[in-house]
């Protein structure tokens, strides 16, 4: 028992002088690593409205409304599991995966995005689901 206590005290003393293993997030922030899978972002001006991204999304986080020049894409961030399947499936690379990852919030309506082809914008939207 005495040996265990000595060992424990030795380990505790050693850790006092060690550099901490954790960082003081959110006061200190690290850049996400290269190829980090964050949020998908639609480059809506490229999109041809084929609907493939919506079909492959395992959690139905993407809705395609309209076709071609008229297409709108709705992306439901709160459903997304950040698998990047949508971006990999888009043949014309109209979806970029960005390093953004801080999405926590209390308001679900702020977790829906509409990409409007006519206006070429991304906007937050309250979506009736
Ligand atoms: S983003 Fe790509 S896969 Fe999705 S509808 Fe547009 S062109 Fe098709
Ligand atoms: S990253 Fe995955 S879960 Fe999120 S929208 Fe794309 S396919 Fe769906």
8-31 pLDDT, tens digit per residue, is: 988 888 888 888 888 888 898 888
Cis peptide before 26 (omega within 30 of 0): yes
- With CA atoms as reference, report the closest residue to 100 among 51, 43, 29: 29
CATH for the 33-124 domain, from 3.40.50.1980, 3.30.70.3270, 3.40.50.300, 2.40.30.170: 3.30.70.3270
Q: How far is the CA of 98 from the centre of ligand 1 (A)?
A: 17
Q: Ligand 1: which residues within 6 Å by Cβ?
A: 42, 47-53, 64, 89-90, 92, 94-95
Query: Does residue 127 carry a pLDDT above 70?
Result: no
- pLDDT, average across residues 95-102: 91
34-66 pLDDT, tens digit per residue, is: 889 999 999 999 999 999 999 999 999 999 998
How many Cα atoms sit within 13 Å of 88 on the Cβ side? 8
How many Cα atoms sit within 13 Å of 53 on the Cβ side? 32
Q: State the pLDDT confidence band at 129, using cuts at 50, 70 and 90.
A: very low
């Amino acid at each position: 028992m005495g040996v265990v206590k000595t060992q424990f005290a030795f380990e505790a003393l050693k850790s006092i002088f060690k550099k901490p293993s954790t960082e003081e997030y959110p006061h200190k922030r690290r850049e996400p690593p290269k190829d980090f899978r964050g949020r998908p972002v639609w480059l809506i001006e490229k999109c041809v409205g084929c609907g493939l991204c919506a079909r492959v999304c395992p959690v139905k986080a993407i809705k395609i409304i309209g076709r071609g020049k008229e297409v709108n894409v709705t992306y439901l961030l709160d459903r997304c599991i950040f698998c990047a399947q949508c971006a990999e499936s888009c043949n014309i690379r109209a979806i970029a995966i960005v390093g953004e990852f801080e999405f926590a919030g209390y308001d679900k309506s702020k977790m829906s995005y509409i990409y409007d082809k006519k206006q070429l914008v991304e906007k937050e939207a309250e979506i009736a689901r």
